[in-house]
Amino acid sequence: MKEQIYTIPVMDAFKEDSECPVCILERNLENHYIDFVLGPSLMEPSCRMETNEKGFCRRHFELLYNKQENRLGLGLIIDTHLRELVKTLGKRHGRIPIFKPGKKMAAFADDFVKLLSVIENKCMICDRMNYTMERYLDVIFYLWSREDEFQHLFNTKKGFCLKHLKMLLEGANKYLSARDSHVFIENLLNMQLEHMERIQKEVNWFTEKFDYRNADAPWGNSKDAVQRSIQKLVGHCTLK
Ligand SMILES: [Zn+2]
Ligand SMILES: [Zn+2]
């Protein structure tokens, strides 16, 4: 049996009714890390070293700030991260030659751009989430190929968001035998297309409801069809 620490969240997420069970795993993980960064990580020297070095991406800075909790803690993290960043950039800047106008400055700017691109792609929360999502994926395929109950549960879902559909298709080749992978992909794509059609109809009915002739017709499942269809297209996002 795979580690329970990953199996239980996977089972729970697949038991919930949703447009994408993998998004539930991702959302719970993200909430966990946001709380972790604003809480216990502050007292952990190894975590502080990691946040000093990596910082966060735009999405995770936004979530950390919008949580409106522990502003002091967030301030402390940003303070030491900025210090380290100034040091790194300053060191690079110290190597600037005294130039005459010309090629050297262009090459120097190029070098700086490369460094900024590396910084831009660093995020402590994204890194940890990627690691755990890969473990979850491993567990999904393990359970699918060994537990009938889970395979049945998987096959009765409403498909996935496109991001996680891609992740599952890639994972099938990595984690399953050629025979299993064939069955898995066929089922997955049938389920996905059926439910993309279903959600398209739900959004369509949402728009039709704005026609005065349909004012008294029932909403059906369409009241929140816009939110759910956005999730189907781009995955878990923070819609108000
Ligand atoms: Zn998803
Ligand atoms: Zn991030």
Query: What letter does residue 212 receive in the DSSP assignment?
Result: G
Query: What letter does residue 235 receive in the DSSP assignment?
Result: -
Q: Which residues contact 130 (CB under 8 A, 6 or more apart)?
A: none
| Span 161-212, pLDDT tens digits | 999 999 999 999 999 999 999 999 999 999 999 999 999 999 999 999 999 9
Full DSSP string of 19-79: S-HHHHHHHHHHHHHHHHHHTGGGG-HHHHHHHHHH---HHHHHHHHHTT--HHHHHHHHH
**184-211 core/surface letters (b: 16 or more CB in 10 A; e: else):** beeebeebbeebbeebeebbebbeebee
Give the confidence band of 98 by pLDDT, cuts at 50, 70, 90. Answer: low
Cα 231 to ligand 2 centroid, rounded to whole Å: 18
Residue pair 21/137 in contact (Cβ under 8 Å)? The answer is no
Identify residue 166 by its one-letter amino acid code.
Answer: K
Cα 108 to ligand 1 centroid, rounded to whole Å: 41
Q: Which ligand is nearest to the CA of 130?
A: 2
Q: Which ligand is nearest to the CA of 27?
A: 1
Domain map of the chain by residue range? Answer: 21-125, 136-234
What do you get for the CA distance between the two ends of the chain, in Å? 39
Give the confidence band of 65 by pLDDT, cuts at 50, 70, 90. Answer: very high
Q: Which ligand is nearest to the CA of 63?
A: 2
Q: Which pLDDT belongs to residue 94?
A: 66
Query: What letter does residue 221 receive in the DSSP assignment?
Result: T
Residue pair 26/32 in contact (Cβ under 8 Å)? The answer is no
